[in-house]
């Protein structure tokens, strides 16, 4: 079942690197799209000069993304009743039912779907099923 995209805002988070003219051009094609600068909510604070990797070998940018998407995006989306995170490398094709209506009718406050096996050791240790 396809969800009517005009019913929902679609949020694009950025790090201040999407010029206003580009935002406006994309918004003409996708009227429900809203751009939020993650820095306005405490995300993606600039690392010290010449810093590219953290002690664990992951980039500082990756750590900023993890922090924002695990902690700060809730603040950014506080005015919304429900939110669904979909990364740019994910393609949603079908829902059996409207997930937001299901959550509302079932008085749920959180849900997630996972179709792939998690292999990242740090995630496995800190977020067990």
* DSSP string over 35-93: EEEGGGGT--PPPPTT--B-TTS-BHHHHHHHHIIIIIHHHHTTT-S------TT----
For the chain (129 residues), the mean pLDDT of every run of 10, in chain order, is 64 89 92 89 71 69 82 86 77 79 87 72 70
pTM of the model: 0.63
């Amino acid at each position: 079942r396809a969800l009517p995209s005009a019913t929902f805002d679609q949020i694009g988070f950025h790090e201040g690197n999407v010029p206003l003219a580009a935002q406006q051009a994309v918004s003409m094609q996708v009227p429900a799209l809203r751009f939020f600068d993650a820095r306005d909510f405490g995300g993606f604070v600039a690392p010290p000069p010449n810093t590219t990797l953290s002690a664990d070998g992951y980039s500082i940018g990756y750590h900023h993304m993890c922090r924002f998407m695990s902690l700060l995006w809730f603040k950014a989306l506080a005015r919304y009743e429900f939110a669904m995170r979909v990364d740019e490398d994910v393609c949603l094709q079908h829902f059996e039912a409207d997930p937001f209506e299901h959550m509302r009718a079932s008085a749920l406050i959180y849900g997630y779907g996972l179709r792939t096996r998690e292999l990242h050791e740090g995630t496995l240790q800190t977020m067990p099923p």
